[in-house]
Amino acid sequence: MNMAEAGHTQKHPYHLVDPSPWPAIGATGALLLALGAALGMHPDLFGTGLVERIVKDVEWWVIAPGLLIILAVMFWWWSDVIAESRKYHTAVVQLGLRYGMILFIASEVLFFAAFFWAFFDSSLFPGAENMPTRTEATGGVWPPKGIHVIAPFDLPFMNTLILLLSGTTVTWAHHAILEGNKRDAVRGLLLTVILGLCFTGIQIYEYSNAPFSFRENIYSSTFFMATGFHGFHVMVGTTFLVVCLFRAMAGQFKPNQHFGFEAAAWYWHFVDVVWLFLFFCIYWWGSGKAPIAMH
């Protein structure tokens, strides 16, 4: 090895990424998406003039530029990360990524905690003396008067079984990767993706036939916010697993190097656990049908 080659030899196990345009482009896309969403909700954001007329003509297509930029950045940036992972993600780098994923999931736990807090604050104290407006809105009982709740042991219970089963199939895929069994890894991931799509389809059907609307009262708004964001996370997780499925088919996961799949599996198990809390707390207990429910 000559002196020039020695000068470029990496002397540490860390990965220093090359300069990338994706963070700046992604930030631009996020700005355009946020601006488009604001205009979609308030066409007169910049006053009554040309902008308002254009927004009213295009309606919600105003978010398309920002959304397309973000989707493009996601594809190309993650493609770069996948390419880097096959060369530069040493054991130390993978450890750092695991810590990062743990912190990300912790932030998601706090995100959902806010919706559970809102739900329990309203359901445990539907007739608080110091909150006359809440008492008037709920009738002093929970679920509020006039609300016809969704039967917990109908479609919600079916979705619970589907997600629990998907947790076993993704674990099967994980063990197959650890054993270098490509065939079973692909099978497990394919089944998990199918189950995720089934869950989403059932929830869409449930929403379209729900006996209450989002703006009806505090029960309906907290119900749709909590279960809706969970459904969004299921779609994100399913997309995550679809990418892992194609990578598994291409033989990119090795027993000692498969953090991309590991992160997807952690995320999917998190989605499973959140759904169990949603089912027991909101669908069952919150509907007043559980043995310990408050009336």
Same domain, 104 and 165: yes
Which residues constitute the domain of residue 78?
13-88
Same domain, 144 and 271: yes
Residue 4 lies in a domain: no
Same domain, 206 and 113: yes
Same domain, 102 and 229: yes
Give the bridge partners for 257, in sequence order. Answer: 254
Same domain, 224 and 234: yes
Return the pLDDT at 125: 78
Residue 196 lies in a domain: yes
Same domain, 46 and 84: yes
For the chain, list residues with pLDDT below 50. Answer: 1-4, 6, 292-295
Give the bridge partners for 254, in sequence order. Answer: 257
Q: Which of 57, 88, 119 is the last residue of a domain?
A: 88
Q: How many CB atoms lie within 10 A of CB 183?
A: 9
Q: Which of 43, 70, 88 is the last residue of a domain?
A: 88
Return the pLDDT at 60: 84
Q: Which of 88, 108, 126 is the last residue of a domain?
A: 88
Return the pLDDT at 75: 93
Q: How many CB atoms lie within 10 A of CB 253?
A: 25
Q: What would the pLDDT profile of 163-175 be if each residue is shown by its tens digit?
A: 999 999 999 999 9
Residue 113 lies in a domain: yes
Return the pLDDT at 1: 46
Return the pLDDT at 291: 55
Which value, in Å, is the radius of gyration of the alpha carbons in the chain? 24
Q: What would the pLDDT profile of 207-226 be if each residue is shown by its tens digit?
A: 999 998 888 888 889 999 99
Q: What would the pLDDT profile of 40-83 be if each residue is shown by its tens digit?
A: 888 888 888 888 888 888 888 899 999 999 999 999 999 999 99
Residue 6 lies in a domain: no
Return the pLDDT at 289: 63
Specify whether the CB–CB gap between 245 and 139 falls below 8 A: no
Among left, alpha and beta (phi > 0; psi -120 to 50; other), residue 149 is beta
> Which tokens is 282 given?
């909101």
Residue 117 lies in a domain: yes
Same domain, 219 and 163: yes
Return the pLDDT at 87: 84
Specify whether the CB–CB gap between 134 and 219 falls below 8 A: no
Same domain, 63 and 98: no
Query: Which CATH number do you get for residue 204?
Result: 1.20.120.80
Return the pLDDT at 3: 44
Return the pLDDT at 162: 97
pTM for the whole structure: 0.86
Residue 177 lies in a domain: yes
Residue 33 lies in a domain: yes
Same domain, 250 and 112: yes
Specify whether the CB–CB gap between 178 and 200 falls below 8 A: no
Spell out a b/e string for 51-68, using b for 16 or more CB atoms within 10 Å of the CB, else e.
ebeebeeeeeebbeebee
Query: Which CATH number do you get for residue 22?
Result: 1.10.287.70
Same domain, 133 and 161: yes
Task: For the chain, give the mean pLDDT.
Answer: 88
Residue 164 lies in a domain: yes
Q: How many domains, the chain?
A: 2
Same domain, 79 and 219: no
Handedness of CA 249, 193, 189, 264 (dihedral sign): positive
Same domain, 76 and 130: no
